[in-house]
Chains A and B, each alone.
Chain A
Amino acid sequence: GDSVTQMEGPVTLSEEACLTINCTYTATGYPSLFWYVQYPGEGLQLLLKATKADDKGSNKGFEATYRKETTSFHLEKGSVQVSDSAVYFCALSDDDNFNKFYFGSGTKLNVKP
């Protein structure tokens, strides 16, 4: 079945460090891929998405490229800020209508000043 695997956290970085959170997926079809972010005490917010191979999603300095050959969608940011501290979830939807999502287990990011 469809699934998402992402690196375990927590990830602790200093401000302005580079970030990579790995995400790989298993899907039978051609899924769309997403990153969601959950700030402390809040719900899940869509961070970025990519709907087909080689697409790059980007938002707020974060980027992720849909790599079909490696079934990956790693999240990257060149310079993290303290305000980026949150839990990041990789997710996929293999439904044309985005009817159902499969989430990874989440990676907690702590950014220290």
Chain B
Amino acid sequence: GENVEQHPSTLSVQEGDSAVIKCTYSDSASNYFPWYKQELGKRPQLIIDIRSNVGEKKDQRIAVTLNKTAKHFSLHITETQPEDSAVYFCAASTSYNTDKLIFGTGTRLQVFP
């Protein structure tokens, strides 16, 4: 079955710097890759997603890149702000014969003023 690995587990950056979180997946049939943000005590919420027919997607200060050959995708946050501090999860799913949605282990991002 699908396995999603996520690194790093914690990440500390200065306000204004960039942050990069990386994930790898094992199932080559996976074709949908969302990223979720979870603030303390709250539920995870989608911030950006990418499908396997696209290599990069941007939304203001956040971007996601996908390398299907390497089975690797990354989240990039530029000009970080204190309110970006949260836990970020990557995930992977495939519609082939199943509707599983498997998450990585999470990255705790701290942005210091």
Are both chains from one complex? no
